Structure 1
Amino acid sequence: MWFDQSWLDLTFLHWPVRPDDVAHLYPPGIRPDVFDGMTYVGLIPFRMGYTKVGAGPALPYFGAFAETNVRLYSVDDAGRHGVLFRSLETARLAVVPAIRFTMGVPYTWARMRIARSEDVIGYDSVRRWPRRGLCSRVAVRIGERVEPTPLEIWLTARWGAHTRKAGRTWWVPNEHDPWRLHAAHLVELDDELIGAADVRLAGEPLRVLYSPGTRTRFGRPIVVAAGSVSQ
């Protein structure tokens, strides 16, 4: 076990994307993962409850913060399915260089707020660095518990992440408990992060989902491929 986290108050927003439109964004050794011929981009705002490294205690500053990530879906030649992050907003400035340097994950610094009133939860983010001023505002009304479709399971039950660091492509394995998912109604969406990630949408959004959260555990990174980036 490398480290574990709790992810809380997640909202899942997804749109279809043509694989050929985003293939150039993937580093060597991985490619767009597809479901019935399409891949997807996710906009996922949530709250990090805690982070623990090994058997140590929760990290009080680094481990708890708001986050909004833009992610694509990836697979490597060994058949390992994961996500490829295009950006991860966080309000914790110190997290940004630490995670960028150690894991190659594109964390960014933002002013963020999560607010809940009864069954409505809202997520606000304004980028501080880099590309200052990029905004994302999402608000949803949380509905009844639902059983996920096969596509929704494929999108949310991801067992790793692919990243690029030190001239190599890596796969970081993880495992998590089953999601408790609720249907959610989109109250407000004003987002600039997907466009800034150079992702072109190919259709209408999927059903919005909300989860109160789960615990996830990460293993040590595994090298997938070395060589120059193909972008």
Structure 2
Amino acid sequence: MTEPSRARAAVPLLHRPVTVHAWEDIVFAHWRHEPASLARLVPRGTRPDVIDGSAWAGLSAYVFRETRVPPFPPSGRLGTMTEVTIEVPTVDDSGRRGVVYRTVDTANVPAIVAAHALLGVPYTFAHARARRRGDTLSYRSVRHPARALHPVRWVRGRTAGGLPGSPGALARTGGTPQPRHDVAVRVVAGAVVDTPLATELTTRQGIHARHLAQTLFWQRQHPPLTIRAAHAERLDGDLPDAVGMPGLFDREPDSLLVVDGTTVRYGWGDVVR
């Protein structure tokens, strides 16, 4: 199973790419679930993909750099973003194995606007950041629900000292902490692994997304991945609660993997239903 799965995302795009990214410092954490427990979280025309006898719920965190919207050149700083997701691996009736994002948390407002308008992917405004020291990868994302509803308005009106959770932000609200959802991840990458399970969980053909009244499939293409095992030093937060998956972090992940980097191209796939 490993070789067909590994080659899955290397299949050429059916249509010209919509976006191209350098995808770096990718963390994948996955937990086993019963398929029925996740079925309500995926759009019609898809179902949770059963891999190694289980459906899976996951977290991924990564950095996009050198984002390009062909035929335009890379967009520099504007095209660099940190993203933290909660997701479910899926399969549709045509056998395309993708992923459904319950949320993609990022501070990149143009990406949020474009994803909602064009892709149907649930991007949400959050103060997300990443750091790497050697083989240790750290991610932190803090989402303030009220600001997430109106990210353009909040960024435009931000004053000095008003970053999420900062003393300035508390002062403007009379010292009362505002509701928020967050996640913190710190993992240490280890040796290369080459197993069917690791490949299936990390190499997906695209994204299944609900847009208006339809389920769409966006194709993802990249070279075969070099996957490394990892162990967690920290993984906590209540972000899963905000997207209908409470208790996801209550136990250790059943799979924890790291991919140092690759180049990812996204293109239009098909209407699923």
SS at 1:55's partner residue? coil
1:204 CA drift (Å): 4.7
* 2: CA distance, partners of 1:207 / 1:24: 23
Equivalent residue letter for 1:7: W
Q: Which residue is 1:30 aligned to?
A: 46
- Secondary structure, counterpart of 1:37 in structure 2: coil
Kindly indicate whether residue 163 of structure 2 is the aligned counterpart of residue 147 of structure 1.
no
Match of 2:263 among 201, 215, 222: 215
User: Which deviates more, 190-199 or 12-21?
Assistant: 190-199
Partner of 2:241: 195
Q: Which amino acid aligns with 2:182?
A: C
Percent identity, please: 36
State the partner residue of 2:185. Answer: 138
Q: Is the 8 A contact 2:24 2:261 kept in 1?
A: yes
Structure 2 residue runs without a partner (length 5+): 1-15, 150-177
Note the C-alpha offset of 1:142.
2.2
Which of residues 112, 122, 130 in structure 2 aligns to 1:114?
130
Residue 41 of structure 1 deviates from its aligned partner by 1.1
- Superposed CA deviations along residues 65-111 of structure 1, whole A, max 9, x for unmatched, are 10011110111111111000000010112321221111110001111
CA contact (8 A) 2:103 2:124 kept: yes
SS of the residue aligned with 1:219? strand
Deviations 1:135-162 (A, max 9, x none): 1100112222x12321111111101110
Equivalent residue for 2:254? 206
Structure number with higher helix proportion: 2
Give the residue type in structure 1 aligned to 2:272.
V
Match of 2:121 in 1: 105
> Which is greater in Rg?
2
- For the pair 1:17 / 2:64, whether they are aligned, the reply is no
Map 1:44-123 → 2, pairs under 5 A: 44-123=60-139
Listed one character per residue, the Cα deviations across residues 167-208 of structure 1 (whole Å, up to 9, x for unaligned) are: 111111111111122222211111222232222659751232
Letter in 2 for 1:182: R
Q: Which residue identity does 1:142 align to in structure 2?
A: A
- Seen in structure 2, the aligned counterparts of structure 1 residues 174 and 116 have a Cα distance that, compared at 3 Å, is closer
Gaps of 5+ in 1: 226-231
| Cα distance in 2 for residues equivalent to 1:38 and 1:103 | 28
Aligned position for 1:41: 57
CA–CA distance in structure 2, aligned partners of residues 149 and 176 of structure 1? 18
Q: Secondary structure at the match of 1:94?
A: helix
Tell me the C-alpha RMSD between the 2 structures. Answer: 1.9
The 1:154–1:11 alpha-carbon spacing in structure 2 relative to 1, beyond 3 Å, is: same
Q: Point out the structure with the larger strand share.
A: 1
Find the aligned partners of 1:196 and 1:148 in 2 and give their Cα distance.
Answer: 34
How many residues of Structure 1 are paired with residues of Structure 2 in the alignment?
224
Q: Could you tell me how far apart the structure 1 residues matched to 2:90 and 2:135 are?
A: 33
Q: Which portions of structure 1, spanning 4 or more consecutive aligned residues, are displaced by more than 6 angstroms?
A: none
- Letter paired with 2:132: R
Shift of 1:43: 0.6
